[in-house]
Amino acid sequence: MDLILLAIFTEPMFLPTEPVSLLWVLPICLSVSLVYKAIKIEEFRPGLFILEVAFLFGTIIVFLLVIAVILLVIAQSVR
């Protein structure tokens, strides 16, 4: 059992690097938005909760896109 655990850390795991694999960020962002708002909301009303989760989800996605564009510009300027 110990050797299997050690092998996990010595052999890198394959992670796909296709553009389609970036779509996995959507369920992760949705999960983060749901959990964060469920913890932080003072008074639970379903309509308000869904609205706040959607707003936070959109905010996270927009900032990820902005950061991606900034990093793309930096990568192109280094070439």
3 lies in some domain:
no
Q: Which CA distances in Å does 26 have to 22, 59, 69, 72, 78?
A: 8, 12, 17, 20, 29
What pTM does this model have?
A: 0.76
Domain-embedded: residue 13: no
pLDDT at 70 over 90: yes
What sign does the CA torsion over 11, 17, 22, 27 have? negative
pLDDT at 1: 60
7 found inside a domain: no
Domain contains 8: no
Structural domain for 38, as ranges: 24-78
Give residue-wise pLDDT tens across range 3-50: 777 777 777 777 778 888 889 899 999 999 999 999 998 888 999 999
Structurally, the chain folds into a number of domains equal to 1
The verdict on residue 2 lying in a domain is: no
